[in-house]
Amino acid sequence: MLLLRNDAKEYGAWFADLSYVYAVAEELAANIKTPTVVVTKSTVPVGTGDEVERIIRDSGTSVQFAVVSNPEFLREGAAIGDFKRPDRIVLGAEDEWARGVMKEVYRPLFLNKAPILFTSRRSSELIKYAANAFLATKITFINEMADLCEKVGGDVQDVARGIGLDNRIGSKFLHAGPGYGGSCFPKDTLALLKTAEDYNSPVRLVEAVVKVNDSRKRAMGRKVIEALGGEARGKRVALLGLTFKPNTDDMRDAPSIAVVQTLIDAGAEVVAYDPEGMEPAAAILPEVQMVQSAYAAIEGADAIVLVTEWDAFRALDFDRVKQLAKAPIMVDLRNVYDPAEMRAAGFEYSSVSRISNI
């Protein structure tokens, strides 16, 4: 068995050039000497496996081979645990021989009762896109409900709990915040839109998700400006967290990028600290002053903004924070802190669509 990955896709554009995959397929075709299963692990457009199979077949090889789609469902920052204890293994194969080989490969995990789903190759390729688009839709839905909560006087956390207790919906990915980012959701939703366009089968719901999520990030920047009294020019804003989620240094499509740009456009000075992401962030956000601790960022700040919910930010000394900050204004974009406790500590506190904001 040979694994075929497209790292250019994982770290490149949202619908990356597949020439790397096809070049490897040509190289494999020239070198396989024994019966071989070629496995595509990357998230690739529907039909990629068909093209890989054609390239190998057209090489004239007489060796038995098969091409299998085996999308990964690993969360960034938790990949090893997810591999050992997957919630499902998806295998797209077109013949029984390939299915038998893949079943043997995954036999140790199957003994741990990890469910294995065999599908057609094209179905397998589509499953990863559909799964990520659905999760992105859940995030975007609760963010829109959060906006509605602010208008009608509801609490989005209560709403999320109430609908999440329905087993048909579930509680995961129902946390209101600044929108989704990272290496998968933005890329895969756009790739799904491109595939749907190519096949003249538009997915309007996903189109709306992408549009709403993009506008959501800028709206969080405007939320900070509102907390500053509507005027950010000349104000110093401390950002706690830059990466799209904790326990990673990944800045790809991080909400912090749009938040920073909104604040810079409004004339604010932005200072930031992130436990892991400052080096990659510095290349993307040259206007931002990077400092070496949360307290260094907070010193002299007119407003403090929690952007990424790192554990380190859950244990801040708020007496010290209040002494260091120029103004005790806290904008919590992840709903980490308790509003009553923050107000009791003397902060002007705002979060995302909780009754205590009103």
As annotated, the active-site residues are 184
Supply the pTM of this predicted model: 0.88
Do 175 and 235 reside in the same domain of the chain? no
Predicted confidence band at 76 (pLDDT cuts at 50, 70, 90)? Answer: confident
Q: What is the pLDDT of residue 12?
A: 39
CATH number of the domain residue 153 falls in: 1.10.1040.10
Do 249 and 342 reside in the same domain of the chain? yes
Give the separation between CA 241 and CA 274, rounded to whole angstroms: 5
Do 247 and 262 reside in the same domain of the chain? yes
Give the separation between CA 306 and CA 223, rounded to whole angstroms: 12
In which residue are the tokens 């992401």 written? 277
Print the domain residue range for 47: 2-119
Average pLDDT, the chain: 92
CATH number of the domain residue 239 falls in: 3.40.50.720
Are the C-beta atoms of 56 and 38 separated by less than 8 Å? yes
Query: For a pLDDT cut of 90, what percent of the chain falls above it?
Result: 83
Give the separation between CA 218 and CA 56, rounded to whole angstroms: 47
- Whether the pLDDT of residue 276 is over 80: the answer is yes
Tokens of 130: 């559909």
Query: For a pLDDT cut of 70, what percent of the chain falls above it?
Result: 94
> pLDDT tens across 108-151, in order?
887 777 889 999 999 999 999 999 999 999 999 999 999 999 99
Written as one letter, the residue type at 34 is T
Which of 89, 119, 149 terminates a domain? The answer is 119
> pLDDT tens across 198-224, in order?
999 999 999 999 999 999 999 999 999
Do 227 and 349 reside in the same domain of the chain? yes
Evaluated on CA atoms 150, 151, 154, 160, the torsion sign reads negative
Give the separation between CA 286 and CA 296, rounded to whole angstroms: 18
Do 205 and 225 reside in the same domain of the chain? no
Do 220 and 351 reside in the same domain of the chain? yes
Do 19 and 93 reside in the same domain of the chain? yes
**Structural domain total, the chain:** 3
- Whether the pLDDT of residue 352 is over 70: the answer is yes
Do 196 and 297 reside in the same domain of the chain? no
77 burial type by CB count under 10 A (0-12 exposed, 13-18 middle, 19+ buried): middle
- Whether the pLDDT of residue 4 is over 80: the answer is no
Which of 59, 91, 119 terminates a domain? The answer is 119
Tokens of 179: 């929108």
Do 110 and 134 reside in the same domain of the chain? no
Give the separation between CA 286 and CA 126, rounded to whole angstroms: 38
Count each helix (H run) and each strand (E run) in the chain, helices first.
Answer: 15, 11
Do 203 and 240 reside in the same domain of the chain? no
Which of 69, 97, 119 terminates a domain? The answer is 119
Do 160 and 182 reside in the same domain of the chain? yes
Rounded to an integer, the average pLDDT of 216-242 is: 97
Do 56 and 141 reside in the same domain of the chain? no
Rounded to an integer, the average pLDDT of 52-72 is: 94
For residue 328, report the phi and psi dihedrals to the nearest 5 degrees. -85, 60
What DSSP string runs through 174-192?
Answer: ---SS---SSSHHHHHHHH
Beta bridge pairs of residue 37? 66
Nearest partner of 271 among 201, 324, 340, 213, judged by Cα:
324
